Amino acid sequence: MDLILASQSKMRRHILECSNIAVTIVSPNIDEESITKSLISENASLRDIPDTLAEYKAKKISNKNPGRSVLGCDQVLVFKNQIYGKPASRKDLIERLRLLQGQNHRLITANVIYKDTKPIWRHVAITHMTMHSFNNTEIQDYVDRAWPSISDSCGGYYFEKTPHLFSAVRGNWFDILGLSIGPVLGFLNQTSERKPLTVPPIVAVLGHPISHSKSPQMHRYWLNKSKLNGDYIAIDVPPKHFSNTIKVLASVGLSGFNVTIPHKEAALTLADKVSTTADKIGSANTLTVAKNCDIYADNTDAYGFMENLRASSLNWDAKSGPALILGAGGAARAVLFSLVEAGVPKIYLCNRTRARAEELMETSSLLIDVIDWEDKELWLPQITTLVNTTSLGMIGKPALDINISTLSKNALVADLIYSPLETDLLRAASKKGCQVVGGIGMLLHQGVPGFEGWFGVRPNVDEEIERLVLE
Whether the ω angle into residue 262 lies within 30 degrees of 0, i.e. cis, is yes
User: What SS3 state is found at 365?
Assistant: coil
Helix (H, G, I), strand (E, B) or coil at 80: coil
Distance, CA of 137 to CA of 134 (rounded, Å):
8
C-alpha to C-alpha distance for 469 and 460, rounded to whole angstroms: 14
264 is catalytic: yes
Burial class, 48, CB count within 10 angstroms (exposed 0-12 / middle 13-18 / buried 19+): middle
Buried b (16+ CB within 10 A) or exposed e, 4-34: bbbbebeebbbbbebbebebeebebebebee
End-to-end CA distance of the chain: 35
**Residue 79 near residue 110 (C-beta atoms within 8 A):** no
CB 205 within 8 A of CB 216: yes
Mutual angle of helices 354-364 and 330-342, in 10-degree steps: 40
DSSP string, 87-155: --SHHHHHHHHHHHTTSEEEEEEEEEEEETTEEEEEEEEEEEEEEPP--HHHHHHHHHHHTTTTTT-TT
Q: Is 203 helix (H, G, I), strand (E, B) or coil?
A: strand
Q: Are 412 and 406 in contact (CB under 8 A)?
A: no
Length in residues, the chain: 471
456-460 long-range contacts, CB within 8 A, separation 24+: 456/228, 457/222, 457/226, 457/228, 459/222, 459/225, 459/226
Which residues are bridge partners to 348 per DSSP? Answer: 324, 369
Considering the candidates 59, 115, 264, 376, report the single residue annotated as catalytic: 264
R_g over Cα of the chain:
26
Q: Give the residue numbers annotated as catalytic, written as ranges.
A: 264
